[in-house]
Amino acid sequence: MIVAALSGLLITSCSSNDYTDKVSSVQVTEVSKELSAAGGQQTFTVTGEGISARAADTWLSVSTQGNVVTVTADGNDSKQSRHTIVTVTATNGDQAVINVSQPGLVILMEANNAYLFNPADNDEAFISDMSNVEFAQTISDNWIHLTKVDSISVDDNTGGYRSGTITLSYKKFVKQIIIGQWGETLPFTSLKTAVYEDEEGNSYTKPVTVVADENDANGNTYLIKGLMEEGDLSVMLNTKTTDMAEYYLAAGYSPGKLVEDETTYTLRCLMSVYNVITGGRYYPTQVTTLETSPYRMSFEWQVDENAMPTFSYVRNGNLAANYRTDGIIVCKFSTSTGASATARKGIAYQFLNLRLSY
């Protein structure tokens, strides 16, 4: 009986001594934080007395104020993400750990180098931006607008052609976008430079002046001055075209006369045509101001890679498929009327691939 009673006492004593885990006095509201690739800071709140904190890696700075812990990092210029741990400690030795990460830099933007708008253009141009940082924006003119959703728009333009820029930058990355906009008036008189070639492929540049022809009451004719000493090229709006706003130089147009060795020649502008199969050239000698003549020399307004306007020679589309025209030949003729091949006495000027620009 005595042995049995002692045994029961020992069993009761053992069951009253169960183990209980200690709960840390340091508790955090979040166990992980992610910073922006561009850098910045995050805060989190902890419990406990006399809180201090430190990071395992030097790229992350840590500060404490009471029970608020702040982590701060500069931008991560690497493509690789990084992470570290922050250890929070109370004066009683209790601790908690927080994971902090920062993604690598991603710059992924799809944008043209230039965008061109019409005078009254309600359309928008869009930039595809999947970068994980925000770009600083510098816009050159207040008629250009860039919204937060990467949409480019412009105000209506009642004047002449204008251009400006949008510059997007983040540290060493810089993307400049040129914005051009046609005006209600075409910028003929702003054209200052002519670039052209000869049949051998030599390139030439000349200063020119373009003025409205005072003899055209409708204001549809312009004179290109400076290409030749003997006279001007006269280009006029082609009212018969519907596919493009074409200006043309009439077939056989005479800019003036040339005197060589006491001989006076009449100058006439002819189309330079070549056969794409044989490479042979010929110069049609028709003389007519007819707007639909297949031998008129055509120009149209274009823009270059910088969204700047150019007045450029173009193929007029009335030639057979295997023929191309690449410019203007100014020939000398021994007669003052007509332009027959027998009266043609040589070439005075060649203006192939002629382009006028600012």
H or E stretch including 354? strand 344-357
- Split into its structural domains, the chain has a count of 3
Of 212, 211, 224, the closest CA to residue 312 belongs to: 224
Q: In this predicted structure, what is the pLDDT of residue 17?
A: 53
Reported as a pLDDT band with limits 50, 70 and 90, residue 13 is very low
Instruction: Identify the residue with better confidence: 274 or 149.
Output: 274
Q: In this predicted structure, what is the pLDDT of residue 268?
A: 96
Q: Are residues 209 and 130 in the same domain?
A: no
Q: Are residues 193 and 303 in the same domain?
A: yes
Q: Tell me, yes or no, whether 231 lies in a domain.
A: yes
H or E stretch including 335? none
Q: In this predicted structure, what is the pLDDT of residue 353?
A: 94
Instruction: Identify the residue with better confidence: 61 or 239.
Output: 61
* pLDDT of 1 above 70: no
Last residue of a domain, one of 102, 132, 165: 102
Q: What share of the chain is helix, strand, coil (3-state, %, to 5)?
A: 5, 45, 45
| Structural domain boundaries enclosing 164 | 109-181
Distances (CA, A) of 291 to 49, 285, 321: 93, 16, 20
Q: What is the dihedral of CA 182, 185, 188, 191, to 10 degrees?
A: -40
24 vs 26: CA distance, rounded Å: 5
Q: In this predicted structure, what is the pLDDT of residue 105?
A: 94
Of 24, 21, 44, the closest CA to residue 32 belongs to: 44
Are 222 and 212 in contact by the 8 Å Cβ rule? The answer is yes
Q: Tell me, yes or no, whether 19 lies in a domain.
A: no
Task: Give one word for 12, left, alpha or beta, with left for phi > 0 and alpha for psi -120 to 50.
Answer: alpha
State pLDDT tens for residues 344-353. Answer: 899 999 999 9
What's the mean per-residue pLDDT of the chain? 88
Q: Are residues 203 and 330 in the same domain?
A: yes
Residue 211 backbone phi and psi in degrees, to 5? -130, 155
Reported as a pLDDT band with limits 50, 70 and 90, residue 6 is very low
* pLDDT of 124 above 60: yes
Reported as a pLDDT band with limits 50, 70 and 90, residue 197 is very high
Domain CATH code at residue 169: 2.60.40.10
Q: Are residues 45 and 146 in the same domain?
A: no
* pLDDT of 5 above 70: no
Q: In this predicted structure, what is the pLDDT of residue 11?
A: 41
* pLDDT of 107 above 90: yes
Q: What is the mean pLDDT of residues 97-115?
A: 93
Last residue of a domain, one of 61, 84, 102: 102
Q: Tell me, yes or no, whether 55 lies in a domain.
A: yes
Reported as a pLDDT band with limits 50, 70 and 90, residue 64 is very high
State pLDDT tens for residues 312-354. Answer: 998 766 777 888 888 999 999 999 887 888 888 999 999 999 9
Q: Are residues 306 and 323 in the same domain?
A: yes
* pLDDT of 7 above 80: no
Q: Are residues 137 and 224 in the same domain?
A: no
Q: What percent of the chain has pLDDT over 70?
A: 92
State pLDDT tens for residues 252-279. Answer: 999 999 999 889 999 999 999 988 888 8
Q: Which of 12-26, 82-96, 118-132: highest mean pLDDT?
A: 82-96
pTM over 0.85, yes/no: no
